[in-house]
Amino acid sequence: MGRLRFLFSASGLSLSLFLLASLQVFLVIDAKTDLNPIDRDLYHSSGELMEEIKGLVDRHPDKLTLETVKSKNKGYEAEVAVVTYGRRREEGDDRSKFRILLSFGQHGRELITSELALRILSILSEEQSLPDMDPASLNSSLNKLVIKVVPMENLNGRELVESGDFCERRNGRGVDLNRNWSVDWGKKEKDYDPYEENPGIAPFSEPETQIMRKLALSFDPHIWVNVHSGMEALFMPYDHKNTTPDGVSSQRMKLLLGKLNLLHCHERCMIGSGGGSVGYLAHGTATDFMYDIVKVPMAFTFEIYGDGAASTKDCFKMFNPTDVDTFSRVLNDWSAAFFTIFKLGPHQLGEIPSKASASKLDRWVSIDEYLDGYLMERSSRYGKKKEVFELGMQEIRTYFRLFLLSSALLMFMFCSRISKGKCSRPIVSAIPL
């Protein structure tokens, strides 16, 4: 009986050792697989992608220009490349044309979005083509447009992903750039994830969002699209509440999204407000800022790909296609969708609407927005490298509010004295008694 027990114990030990060895082999293989899941036959590195874009600009100076904007805050520096497309452009000619602003790669792990930016620029430069689009009709539409493309908004975050942190969505110092805008900034839901959704220490604390805000305010686009991955969806405002805007603008957005869903998303895409469709509210997003503050008539967030069956530990596969067929389908479908926007967008809004005709009240912004914008402009107008510290910003805001409050109180007291003086003055009859 003892011998039998020993044999079972030995067998159990051998089995345990075998399982342990197998597990170690599995972990080694799995580690090697996870070491670099980025297929370089499909995806460019960030450096290679920007070199491709620079090559397009160099070969087509009549259509494309490239500007690299840099900003620095508390020792953290970021740069954002902006490609401008426009035919027959002259200095100051942007205001007479329909303006579209597109941003890709706001979250580092969403590599497929920057690949889509490269594809769109290749088609705009006519080095690639859309199979089902009439060239004459397309050229007629493009002549009326100025398109600004930000191919990789979050370069520092992208480099972290390329170094092996495949789940990283934040920028180089751990801030989610799509929570760092001022509309409803800093509010935290019950399911708030401080790692994923860190909004920063203040609105526009990050150089990347400072650059994008300045670009949006100066360019004043008619259409804004923020391109992401993680699912297939066509979102409009709002992200921070479970509702869509009222009025004609909202109806136009819904109509355009319905057409895109039918023509290019094959009715797979979710449509509606980001806050009402995703299942959670997002505060401090770019699209809500574009719609509420910049007054962009048509502001969207597109989600171009997502693998719901992927493991939550396999971030790369969750957000990026990993086989050639899916990769090609995503780029083909969504590049066609954007060219449909280029063609239908001006018609949806009545060619080139005058945004300046909007009510002045609609253009008002908060004190914080004004001060942020003013100080940013002053810090860069003469090319001086100045940093605006958050503590100083808070003090300036406080003093400005106190100034406004004291001015209002003084005006009220002055008006009250005049009113009392008039009431207490004796009434003298003009008719002799």
pLDDT, one tens digit per residue, over 63-121 is 999 999 999 999 999 999 999 999 866 655 677 899 999 999 999 999 999 999 999 99
List the one residue out of 408, 368, 375, 373 whose CA is nearest residue 389. Answer: 375
Dist CA 230 CA 118 (whole Å) = 19
- 425 versus 209: the higher-pLDDT residue is 209
**Is residue 149 within 8 Å of 104, Cβ to Cβ?**
yes
Place of tokens 């197998």: 22
Instruction: Report whether pLDDT(252) > 50.
Output: yes
State the virtual CA torsion across 285, 225, 105, 243 in degrees, nearest 10. Answer: 30
Instruction: Report whether pLDDT(354) > 50.
Output: yes
Instruction: Report whether pLDDT(325) > 80.
Output: yes
Dist CA 221 CA 149 (whole Å) = 12
Q: In one letter, which amino acid is 91?
A: E
pLDDT tens by residue, 402-419: 677 777 778 877 777 776
Dist CA 416 CA 399 (whole Å) = 25
Residue 300: both structure tokens together: 């969207």
Dist CA 262 CA 36 (whole Å) = 36
Instruction: Report whether pLDDT(21) > 90.
Output: no
The predicted structure's pLDDT at residue 415: 74
State the virtual CA torsion across 35, 160, 120, 95 in degrees, nearest 10. Answer: 170
The predicted structure's pLDDT at residue 89: 60
Looking at 48-52, 53-57, 400-404, which range is the least confident one?
400-404
Using DSSP's 3-state secondary structure scheme, residue 181 falls into coil
Annotation says 303 is catalytic: yes
pLDDT tens by residue, 276-307: 888 889 999 999 999 999 999 999 999 999 99
Instruction: Report whether pLDDT(219) > 80.
Output: yes
Strands across the sheet containing 298-305: 64-73, 76-86, 145-150, 98-103, 223-228, 298-305, 231-236, 270-273
Dist CA 189 CA 191 (whole Å) = 5
Q: In the predicted model, what is the mean pLDDT of residues 23-50?
A: 69
Annotated active-site residue in 168, 232, 303, 369: 303
Using a 10 angstrom Cβ sphere, with 0-12 exposed, 13-18 middle and 19 or more buried, the burial of residue 381 is exposed
The DSSP code sequence of 264-302 is TSTT-SEEEEHHHHSSS---S-HHHHHHHTS--SEEEEE
Mean residue pLDDT across the chain: 82
- 148 versus 194: the higher-pLDDT residue is 148
Using DSSP's 3-state secondary structure scheme, residue 66 falls into strand
The DSSP code sequence of 137-171 is HHHHHHTTEEEEEES-S-HHHHHHHHTT-TT--S-
Q: In one letter, which amino acid is 260?
A: L
